[in-house]
Chain A
């Protein structure tokens, strides 16, 4: 089992989860974070930290797409180990729907 970052993270990218993860398994894209399922230890500490409830266990229904996306992008994006400021317009995107089309597959600039 693993936890997975889902749609709500796109263009919000709060990084509260990063500050609590004991194994540093978050990876950062331009406008989203993902979890590396190979490294996640299922401890669940990140789930309640997310202000937009983007983190879910992979036992949730219809999560396969997101699990595949997390697996793929964690292999491309750089690891993020420290919390940083969210995008200035994060609040405006909080409840937006169908954000998947807005996902940037580009890695974060570090």
Chain B
């Protein structure tokens, strides 16, 4: 009983001083503070959260679905299809009389989803691939990186279009195609970082205590990569959105009645000459807002987490 108590007091005394610096400053807490101080990044983050909330809450206020044609505006889109609260078309209608409000919301959802999925694949595949190549080094490394070089220099845009034509245009094919290439850059970044990490003392210590390679990679190397992975993943999201929009602009993306921002911009650009500017303006504003905010958030993360630029 007494001995137990004593041990308890000893551990609590020993634990106390270790707790204090952890509460004070950690890498992540520091980074968080730096990020919060970055006005452009914080504003972007708030705007971005606003856009995401809008795509979640917005549909409840929609009076029209994405595919329902409003026959009262058909043939007279320029005046009857203009944005108005009375008709329930808050963003107006598109050229065939479908509600643009609902379509912009769906387009934004799909663009965000494509960005996040592409980025998530990059994080999982790219991190593991890069960490394994960097950690083991030697022949395995050069073989793995040579493969990345080869895939990298294939003009993926054409392969992606090819995939969409051959296997049909669907969400799954789009995600597969984007996932095929999104991890390449990430694996290079991660490999480079792993190369510098693996000679550090804590990794040597882990190896010396007999940890298996798998444990060294996942317990000691990957956690130390999280910063750079987070930065790169955030900057990858707008790239993936651009890629998807490009394909949708060509009319090779998701199929009607589903839509995406790239497809909406393409439609709006074609009808612009009739004076229906809102068909281009609304999707364009959402598109540019998303890209801008992701770039600034990614930049802010880099400033906050990357010790090199300080």
On whether the two chains bind one another, the answer is no
Interface residues of B (CB under 8 A from A): none
- Interface, chain A (partner B; CB < 8 A): none
